[in-house]
Amino acid sequence: MKKAVVLFVVACCAVSVLSLAEEKPSATMSSAKQFDVSPSSTTSQPKTTTAMANTTTTTSKTTTTTPKTTTTTPKTTTTTPKTTTTTPKTTTTTPKTTTTTPKTTTTTPKTTATTPKTTTTPVPGPTPPTRVFVGSYNLTEKKVVCLRANMALEIQLSAAKVNGSFIVQPNETKTEGSCGETKANLTLVFKEGFITFMFNKSVADNTAYVDALSFKLSYSFAKGEARQEYRADNKSLHLFAAKVSHCYSCSGEMLYMGNGLYLNVTKNRMQAFNLTKSYDFGQPDMCLADKTDYRVAIGVGVTLLVLIVIVVLAYLVSRRKRTDGYQTL
């Protein structure tokens, strides 16, 4: 009885530790930090490509460390489980090691599965159109940065005749527009066209959001096809909303703009009004998708903690019963 209970507690602890280890990176706060690093995509290209392909920052973080561990694990597969079993401090019984070892072995194939991706992506890396870059766009007025946006932009066409995408190249894009008291215009101009974000600040609601989004693109989505002009102009929107003096933060969004055209906004951080004194972003307001991720992670963690507490209580009760003389076993 006692052994079984202890075993269960240890198993719960192991599961919770594992789940917490997985949860922490999924917390969007860390991904926000990632966005800061990404504008310097020209220098650290392999890292950004992994972050682009997979919106979850967990993969990019693990891939940096895995190349070293994957080379050692195939040879010493028996030594690695031993090191991981040392983490449960109160465990002395042997059955625990057998329960924890399958978990550690299942995690290692995952890391080995991600490493081929990183090795394959840098190979076609030099071709820029297939890569999404996070741009850092600053709108400056009277030598003051009044609007900032860090994001990767992609216009996608999904039609019966053609499927394709146009990726905005930040180093070939100019930031234009204007900032007003309650309105701001961020226009990104590239040689194929432009994308305009119109921001509105509602003092009454203490929110800032994009109320109009438009683009013009002269591009050939399919090889061998003539260039075509694509236009989208959406008004009366309520996108990228954040509190005034906060920044909007979202790992990825796909906006339908009509006529089979989509605007993919990934690794987005933007703020139009009340930047900090050092022209930096304010506190991030997560988009709903990132928020729910975070809430699910917290929910799982709390549930596991409650389970552990119940198990520990059950163990204590059973021990007290035994000292009282009600030995049931």
Ligand X SMILES: *[C@@H]1O[C@H](CO)[C@@H](O)[C@H](O)[C@H]1NC(C)=O
Q: Site residues (CB under 6 A) for ligand X?
A: 42, 53-54, 59, 117, 128, 136, 138, 145, 154, 156, 158, 160-163, 165, 169, 171-172, 176-177, 185, 187, 196, 198, 200, 202, 204, 211, 234, 237, 244-245, 252-258, 264, 266, 274, 279
Residue with smaller CB distance to ligand X, 18 or 37: 37
Q: How far apart are CA 150 and CA 247, in angstroms?
A: 11
What tokens does 130 get? 């297939």
DSSP string, 171-222: GG-EEEEEE-SSEEEEEEEETTEEEEEEEEEETTTTEEEEEEEEEEEEE-SS
72 three-state secondary structure: helix
What is the smallest separation between the CB atom of 285 and ligand X, expressed in angstroms?
13
What is the smallest separation between the CB atom of 182 and ligand X, expressed in angstroms?
6
What is the smallest separation between the CB atom of 167 and ligand X, expressed in angstroms?
9
Strand ranges in 105-173 using DSSP code E only, listed in sequence order: 134-141, 144-158, 163-167
Q: Is the dihedral of CA 53, 54, 60, 62 positive or negative?
A: negative
* CA angle in degrees (0–180, nearest 5) for 274-279-285: 55
What is the smallest separation between the CB atom of 52 and ligand X, expressed in angstroms?
8
69-to-111, 133, 142, 147 alpha-carbon distances in Å:
9, 29, 52, 43
Determine contact, residues 72/121, Cβ cutoff 8 Å: no
Residue with smaller CB distance to ligand X, 104 or 165: 165
Q: How far apart are CA 196 and CA 188, in angstroms?
A: 6
Burial of 224 (0-12, 13-18, 19+ CB in 10 A): exposed
What is the smallest separation between the CB atom of 196 and ligand X, expressed in angstroms?
5
Residue with smaller CB distance to ligand X, 74 or 129: 129
What is the smallest separation between the CB atom of 106 and ligand X, expressed in angstroms?
15
What is the smallest separation between the CB atom of 80 and ligand X, expressed in angstroms?
22
What is the smallest separation between the CB atom of 77 and ligand X, expressed in angstroms?
23
Residue with smaller CB distance to ligand X, 93 or 218: 218
Residue with smaller CB distance to ligand X, 96 or 269: 269
Q: Select from 197, 326, 216 the least CA-distant residue to 271.
A: 197
Residue with smaller CB distance to ligand X, 13 or 239: 239
Residue with smaller CB distance to ligand X, 66 or 187: 187
What is the smallest separation between the CB atom of 223 and ligand X, expressed in angstroms?
12
* CB contact set of 56 (below 8 Å; sequence gap of 6+): 25, 26, 251
Residue nearest to ligand X (CB): 252
Residue with smaller CB distance to ligand X, 71 or 283: 283
Residue with smaller CB distance to ligand X, 91 or 264: 264
Q: Select from 176, 198, 173 the least CA-distant residue to 187.
A: 176
Element holding 217 (H helix, E strand): strand 207-219
